[in-house]
Structure 1
Amino acid sequence: MKMGRGVEWAVHSCVNMAWTPPGEAVNSARLAALYKLPAAYLNKQLQALVRAGILTSVSGPRGGFHLARRPENITVLDVVLALEGQEPAFRCEAILGDMPEADRQENFVRTCLISQTMRQAELAWRQALARQTIAGIADSMERRLPGGRDKAVRRLTAGLG
């Protein structure tokens, strides 16, 4: 399965928002500058997270985005589905039904072993992403990169006091 690069950007952005003080909006241009990303494209990803109820958008001179829910209540799967859509990665076209002497009454989408294998793999993938929260990633990043949180927050909130 191939995901767009906006997924990585959005997860990093959510982690940064989890680190900022409660109620503090994070400006998308500052986020884009922090990671050297195209601001307009990042903003598009963040707007998709707003539509999915993951982020809240704040207008005005101190505007930007912040998490709409607690970071422990936002999974990586939530972010992926908000950006990539709900459709399954594999779509069985039931080509077994086109074989000679195929039972036209059979539901090949359900009974095809290839379709079942793909559904099981996607279910495992989705379950793994659903177990990973923004809070968990933020905590792991803090342990792996001591001081990284403080540096990021300073860069994102500099001059906003």
Structure 2
Amino acid sequence: MRMGEGVEWGLHCCLTLAWLDSDQPVPTARLAAWFDLPPAYLTKRLQALVRAGILSSTPGSKGGFRLGRQPEKITLMDVVTAIEGPDDVFRCTEIRQRADGGGAIAREFRQPCGIATAMRKAELAWRRELAGLRVADLLAAAPGGAADRTRRHYARMTG
């Protein structure tokens, strides 16, 4: 399984916005410069987070993004789903029914495919784990001083 880089971008932007905890929106250009990311692509990812209610956006020259909810109310799974979509990672197309030229017996397929069952079980465990972790947990686990460094760096960028 491979997630797109937008998940990492979205999570880091959520952490940064939480550390800044500003009433003023943070422009995409500043976030893009901060992480050395292409602004147009970052905007698409951030807008997906807005549609999911994770971020809020303010249009215009003084616009940008803020957290749309408290960090305690944003799970990692929320961000993954907003960026990657809600679809299952594994999609069983029942190729077993086509095996041997399609001559398999129908009763062999009464039980769910063992591969699909195992993959679903693994995916549910992964989703539960991400749903149990919140942006607030990432903030708490960050190295000491990360929030202060973020605020100082942002002040230099804007000041």
TM over 0.5, shorter chain: yes
- Cα deviation code 1:71-119 (max 9, x no counterpart): 11111111111111111111111122234232179456xx111110000
Q: How many residues align?
A: 156
Evaluate the alpha carbon distance shift between residue 107 and residue 62 of structure 1 in structure 2; reply closer, same or farther with a 3 A threshold. farther
* CA displacement at 1:40 relative to structure 2: 1.4
Distance in 2 (alpha carbons) for counterparts of 1:89 and 1:119: 9
Distance in 2 (alpha carbons) for counterparts of 1:26 and 1:57: 9
- Cα deviation code 1:33-75 (max 9, x no counterpart): 1111111111111011111111100123432101111111111
Gaps in structure 2 of 5+ consecutive residues? none
Q: Which residue of 2 aligns with 1:139?
A: 140
Evaluate the alpha carbon distance shift between residue 90 and residue 107 of structure 1 in structure 2; reply closer, same or farther with a 3 A threshold. farther
> Does the Cα contact within 8 Å between 1:62 and 1:160 map onto a contact in 2?
no
2:105 paired with 1:102: yes
Q: Which residue of 1 aligns with 2:6?
A: 6
Q: Which residue of 1 aligns with 2:93?
A: 93
- Cα deviation code 1:113-155 (max 9, x no counterpart): 11100000110111111111111101111xx2x2221221233
2:150 paired with 1:152: yes
Q: Which residue of 2 aligns with 1:119?
A: 120
TM superposition score normalised by structure 1:
0.87
Evaluate the alpha carbon distance shift between residue 159 and residue 6 of structure 1 in structure 2; reply closer, same or farther with a 3 A threshold. closer
TM superposition score normalised by structure 2:
0.88
Matched residue type, 1:2: R
